Amino acid sequence: MATPKYVGIETEYGIAVDGPTEVNPVLASSLVVGAYRDAGERDVVWDHSDEHPLRDARGYEVPDPHEPVVDDELGLANTVLTNGSRFYVDHAHPEYSSPECSNARDLVIWDKAGERILEDAAARAATTLPPGSRVLVHKNNTDGKGAAYGTHENYLVPRSVPFGRLTRQLLPFFVSRTVFVGAGRLGSELSDEVPFQLSQRADFFEVEVGLETTLKRPLMNTRDEPHADPERYRRLHVINGDANLCEVATFLKVGTMLLLLDLIEDDALPEVPALAEPVTAFHQVSHDLTCARPLRLEDGSTATALEIQGQYLEACRRYVKDRDADLDPVTAQVLERWEAVLALAADDPRSLAGQVDWATKLELMESYRGRHGLGWESDRLKMVDLQYHDVRREKGLFHRLVSRGRIERLVGEDEVIAAMHAPPTDTRAWFRGECIRRFRRQIVAAGWDSLIFDVGGEALQRVPMMEPGRGTRDALGPLLDEVDDAQQLLERLTG
């Protein structure tokens, strides 16, 4: 029986400042993150002590020639929010790392909450700049000038599952899921013959497996940094997906992976079609608007992305049929949506508009091109491409489509607004977020797997949170309601 899975998404947002004063992206990002706090409130900073980004799942750690640098030394803003998320500056981008979620629907809610947080933070940051300044934030993955930035999914899986099995069974899935994960973009880094493609990220991937995330990007990232009990878990760090605005796309991106990881853990996934050249196939799928291009397999035969996805879907259907009593409503919806999206794509991929970002954006662009007689190389069309991703609900073209009922939503706006401040109730994110809300002045730092308190003693006190399924509202809500301050909480936890 597969163990419970947990997921989070970290998204780097594109940023620019339009106004009388030039502001570089690092400073702009710091202004945005720094602006999103209550006046006079003390930040809960990030605890880096348990992070090991150079530890490789293949069994070694890459030596780092540099001394570790903390955010304060760099002058970068970095804080932990009451909804359990991390909000900080990563390189030259504001990054929102969602709290841990136990299912795909919750992930959609807290991912959307991140968009609202960025919208709010950018508006606040603009008030600190000279009059006439605008802080523009986009949920996308490329600046259109040869640079890419990431959207990384994180899944907790048992360490007993061999990493080699994950690689072998997931590579074809990652390549073929682009048909519903792609966010769409104008042009290509690889060919002038590609006016529009499915994925914003695909062209930037060069190798099959590796530790890097910014250079020689791999389809399968090997970072071994579980942020949980390292004896029991590994974190599958997925860097090949796009930043999605369509809720159906995010729901499927995460929901299919959570289900597929159960199959892999239970060794219930049949042999999948091995691609002869996965990286090349990744590019080919992204460049094919028909979703029908045959991809070369190792055995000399071919299969399309939709056919490969169909094999994964069928395997998952057989798996849940044998465990019908354990099928929760969210997983049932994932399977239903997955089948429906593949059926639509097989009939006409463009009919996915309103559910999948690339098809939604393509429909928008082709309508704009037709009205104004523009070629694909038009600068005006490039602006449409970018404006689709603007997080401002009154300006972003995606959000205008939402307001017109052209985009299907899966969650309520009231749920999203609540999630800007409150954490999921059924993971350790609840304890993290609630402690920050109740005891902010007594918390020095927080990480995914610990909180560090300063209650006036000789030493700081660390509370470990090594199990993502613990620290829930049901388990610890009564305790937090019974204590008046952090000192009492620590006494009860350690007594």
Q: Which residues are the active-site residues? A: 90
* Residues 6 or more apart whose Cβ sits within 8 Å of residue 182: 197, 198, 199, 200, 202, 242, 286, 356, 357, 358
- Say if CB 125 and CB 135 are below 8 A apart: yes
- Say if CB 184 and CB 361 are below 8 A apart: yes
**Beta bridge mates, 135:** 17
| CA neighbor of 435 nearest in space, from 481, 395, 394, 467 | 481
**DSSP state at residue 47:** -
Kindly tell me the burial class for residue 458, based on how many C-beta atoms sit within 10 Å of its own C-beta (0-12, 13-18, 19 or more).
exposed
The angle formed by the CA atoms of residues 363, 369 and 371, to the nearest 5 degrees, is 105
Question: What does the CA dihedral 149, 153, 157, 161 come to, rounded to 10 degrees?
Answer: -50
| CA neighbor of 463 nearest in space, from 435, 426, 422, 423 | 435
- Say if CB 200 and CB 207 are below 8 A apart: no
In whole angstroms, give the CA distance from residue 325 to residue 224: 34
